[in-house]
Amino acid sequence: MSLTFELVTPERVVFSQEIDQVTLPTRQGEITILPNHIPLVAALIPGVAHLKKGQSEEDVAVSGGFIEISADNRVRVLADTAERGIELDLSIIEEAKARAEKVMQETVRTDDESFAAAAIALERELARYKVAIKHRGSKKVPIIDQAIKKHETRST
């Protein structure tokens, strides 16, 4: 038995296929969703979504949004942003992370709103950084790429 998983942002469908399990960051902590999970709606926070299918795994950097788990083994994630490791440029992430850290240091005692915005930006960049580093060191074919290869093999 598997999960029908869909990860959607306002710009695109990032991921849509059958998987065995997914771990997602929520306000209450990380949750791992397996087949037959109870129905649930939860808030998504910036972090790493970890997808697993068989021996294959893939991490996706996600930011805020919502998670919906239905009784029929469907998991839908509506995220503000979502990026796969293959899409991330480590040098750009490091620059953004440094900018967010600088803003946090400059506003720590002056502007609570700016400090909070910088903290959220830093959380997002740290998630992107983790996914980019893991992708760089991984020798496994990401889940979505395996699905594409299977489809290409069948149609040729």
Is it the case that residue 29 has pLDDT exceeding 90? yes
**Domains of the chain, earliest start first:** 3-86+129-155 (2.60.15.10)
| pTM of the complete model | 0.68
Q: Would you state the pLDDT for residue 71?
A: 93
Q: Which amino acid is at 155?
A: S
Overall average pLDDT of the 38-46 stretch: 94
Averaged confidence pLDDT in the chain: 80
Among the listed residues 77, 92, 90, 12, the one whose alpha carbon sits nearest the alpha carbon of residue 45:
77
Task: Compute the distance between CA of residue 144 and CA of residue 58 in angstroms, rounded to an integer.
Answer: 8
User: Per residue in 88-142, pLDDT tens?
Assistant: 677 776 777 777 777 767 766 676 777 777 777 767 777 777 777 776 665 555 5
